[in-house]
């Protein structure tokens, strides 16, 4: 009997393969970068947006098995879903504490990142109401100006430590604005603001570095690294060779091929016209799968070792490629073309789409058959 994995692959128009072993290896190398400073820096994992499209409930337990002890998500519901897969370890909800959701945090054993005094007050009341010491994570805004305690609110907290009564100060955190630009002075300005805050709130561990922040050096590491992107293979140092292992491959099947004469158009809007007699292959993915419309005339796929241009408009469910130069035997319906993989990384595709690899990964469609492997082994 075929395995469920083989069965999914047999039916799939497009197949997304996530290598958990590669994600685990990336986590280890980030953890080791933290340890290289000689202090006992720990490494968390950011699993928001379904672990950047790779599957949070599968990635979370794999990283826990590797030794990861702290997990971050953005939304409460992401935390609830992850809690089922990770019964024990702390899960922090970055978007904070929405009024009326305190009971959900308690029920699922989740910890809100407290982004302002109002949230801190509500969490302290919750601790009183449930009569238990709850973990408090304080996010201090050092320059992003999205979420977090502003300078005035932070000073209030420093002056009035009683505001933490009934809570256990579990973590102080802040978030870098331009960590991928090591020479940008904003990094140092944020660092000195965060340092002052941490000094004024002694006794609690601190977390500052996202993926790129890990590579700014040990001054930026504090007690807990907080990488997302680099875990999933996105280059944390744009412009330099990528130190991370790639974690996703995406293959899409050829559904049909056809020969067309010169001066024929392909696809909606008659937007592409053949300059010569051509062979067009139609493959099973589209913008509904996160293959952005802007990619037309800007990227290629790989088929049997050949680089094949994407032509014509990208449709909701279909993409057309100019396979004229591929031997016919390699270009048959049912064959898989490589959309992401050894020849085209998520960073490469992001460049083609004039965006970043974060958007490419988090846009990966829900229609792909998803297979998780660990090295060569399928994970069931
Ligand atoms: C998304 C996020 C991270 C992870 O950032 P990467 O650049 O993906 O490593 C860390 N901290 C906060 C607050 C975030 O929102």
Residue pLDDT tens, the chain, 380 long: 667 677 888 888 999 999 999 999 999 999 999 999 788 999 999 999 999 999 999 999 999 999 999 999 999 999 999 999 999 999 999 999 999 999 999 999 999 999 999 999 999 999 999 999 999 999 999 999 999 999 999 999 999 999 999 999 999 999 999 999 999 999 999 999 999 999 999 999 999 999 999 999 999 999 999 999 999 999 999 999 999 999 999 999 999 999 999 999 999 999 999 999 999 999 999 999 999 999 998 999 999 999 999 999 999 999 999 999 999 999 999 999 999 999 999 999 999 999 999 999 999 999 999 999 998 788 86
Active site residues: 48, 268
Nearest CA-CA partner of 102 in 94, 110, 48: 110
- Residues 323 and 339: beta-carbon distance below 8 Å: no
DSSP state letter for 232? G
Residue position matching structure tokens 């744009």: 238
* Domains, the chain, ordered by start: 20-232 (3.20.20.10), 248-344 (2.40.37.10)
Nearest CA-CA partner of 358 in 229, 214, 209: 229
Ligand 1 site, CB within 6 A: 46, 48, 94, 175, 210-211, 226-230
Q: Which of 50, 72, 113, 215 to mutate to test the pocket of ligand 1 (most atoms within 8 A of CB)?
A: 72
Measured by CA distance, the residue closest to atom 15 of ligand 1 is: 94
Please give the model's pTM, rounded to 2 decimal places: 0.96
Measured by CA distance, the residue closest to atom 10 of ligand 1 is: 210
Closest atom of ligand 1 to 227 CA is: 9
Nearest CA-CA partner of 56 in 377, 370, 351: 370
- Residues 326 and 279: beta-carbon distance below 8 Å: yes
């Amino acid at each position: 009997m075929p395995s469920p994995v083989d069965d999914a692959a047999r039916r799939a128009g497009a197949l997304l393969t996530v290598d958990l072993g590669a994600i685990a290896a990336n986590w280890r190398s980030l953890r080791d970068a933290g340890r290289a400073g000689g202090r006992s820096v720990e490494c968390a994992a950011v699993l928001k947006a379904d672990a950047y499209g790779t599957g949070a409930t599968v990635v979370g337990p794999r990283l826990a098995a590797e030794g990861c002890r702290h997990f971050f998500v953005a939304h409460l519901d992401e935390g609830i879903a992850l809690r089922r897969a990770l019964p024990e370890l702390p899960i922090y909800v970055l978007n904070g504490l929405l009024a009326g959701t305190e009971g959900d945090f308690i029920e699922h054993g989740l910890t809100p990142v407290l982004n302002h005094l109002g949230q801190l007050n509500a969490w302290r009341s919750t601790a009183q109401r449930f009569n238990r010491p709850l973990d408090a994570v304080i996010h201090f805004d050092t320059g992003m100006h999205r979420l977090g305690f502003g300078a005035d609110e932070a000073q209030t907290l420093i002056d009035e430590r009683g505001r933490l009564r009934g809570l256990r100060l579990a973590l102080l955190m802040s978030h870098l604005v331009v960590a991928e630009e090591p020479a940008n002075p904003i990094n140092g300005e944020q660092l000195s603001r965060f340092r002052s805050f941490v000094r004024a709130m002694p006794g609690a561990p601190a977390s500052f570095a996202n993926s790129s922040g890990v590579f700014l050096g040990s001054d930026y590491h504090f007690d807990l690294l907080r990488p997302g992107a680099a875990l999933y293979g996105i280059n944390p140092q744009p412009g330099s060779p990528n130190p991370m292992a790639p974690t996703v491959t995406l293959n899409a099947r050829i559904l049909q091929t056809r020969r067309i004469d010169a001066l024929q158009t392909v696809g909606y809007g008659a937007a592409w016209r053949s300059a010569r007699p051509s062979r067009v292959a139609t493959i099973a993915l589209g913008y509904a799968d996160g293959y952005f419309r802007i990619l037309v005339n800007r990227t290629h796929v790989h088929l049997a070792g050949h680089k094949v241009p994407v032509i014509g408009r990208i449709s909701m469910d279909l993409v057309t490629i100019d396979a004229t130069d591929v031997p016919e035997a390699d270009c048959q319906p049912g064959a898989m073309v490589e959309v992401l993989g050894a020849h085209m990384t998520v960073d490469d595709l992001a460049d083609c789409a004039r965006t970043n690899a974060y958007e490419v990964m988090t846009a990966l469609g829900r229609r792909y058959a998803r297979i998780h492997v660990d090295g060569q082994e399928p994970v069931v």
